[in-house]
Amino acid sequence: MTLSLPETFADGTTIDIGLEKGSITYVRKVNWTSALIEQQVASLAYSGENLLKDAEVEKAKLPPFALAFYKFLFFKGQIPTEQELWTQYLIAHFGVLDETRIQFFRKGTWRVYKAEAVKARLLRSFPSLIRDFHFFVLCQESGRFQEVKYSLRDDYFNGVDLTLMYQNKTFRVAVMLNSERARQFKEQKYSRHAETDEQQVILLFDLPRIEQNKGKIKLFSSQHIQQLITELEKRTHELPRI
């Protein structure tokens, strides 16, 4: 079910600006489509494969990469290149010490890391950020769900990638590529949060070579939407309607 958005202001994109209790919200109209995303992704360079890992950086609690990714989407209206994402992330969170080291202030302490290692960790996450966003748009376009929502707060603090309403039932959904790295990431991410219940759906999708799209970054397709719906159908017979 698709809801029509309110009329915009004269700039053609602003729907509302709100102020309340020390916060400001800015609501913008967007016109993303899966076809447009796929076109952008096909032209993206990707250099995040086979990069060296630094043990200290890999276990560090860094600011979420998704924050930089979605802020770029919000202000620029397009997917960042890997260099644009790195620049956005670096400027927002780090001070540069020299050509090889950057520092990040956390819990009253300046923490120093190798810039190359932090960038490598970000680049390894770059495809999944794009894949998640593209899958969100695919879910919207499918018309199979009553609601499709993403929240960075739910993602980062509660481990919820996507919230869907299907047949009057709400599900918290996470989908990822069926790879060794994705399985390790899943274990790490969801171990940080409470036990999952029957309303949380975690799916590992295979991606046949024919569906890898042009370019180096792999995307999901309508076939995976159908796989998700098949899983939700099983769950709808187990959950009470809201």
Question: What are the residue boundaries of the structural domains of the chain, listed by start?
Answer: 14-236
> What is the C-alpha separation between 166 and 144, in angstroms, rounded?
7
For residue 184, what pLDDT is reported? 63
Joined tokens for residue 43: 């032209």
Quick check: 132 and 161 in contact, CB under 8 A?
yes
Say whether pTM exceeds 0.85.
yes
For residue 7, what pLDDT is reported? 85
For residue 212, what pLDDT is reported? 47
For residue 237, what pLDDT is reported? 75
Tens of pLDDT, residue by residue, the chain (242 residues): 455 667 889 888 889 999 999 999 999 888 899 999 999 999 999 999 989 899 999 999 999 999 999 999 999 989 999 999 999 999 999 999 999 999 999 889 999 999 999 999 999 999 999 999 999 999 999 999 999 999 999 988 887 889 999 999 999 998 888 877 666 655 555 555 444 455 888 888 887 655 545 568 989 999 999 999 999 998 887 655 54
> What is the C-alpha separation between 224 and 233, in angstroms, rounded?
14
For residue 213, what pLDDT is reported? 52
SS3 letters across 91-157: HHHCEECCCCEEEEEECCEEEEEEHHHHHHHHHHHHHHHHHHHHHHHHHHHHCCCCEEECCHHHHHH
For residue 199, what pLDDT is reported? 84
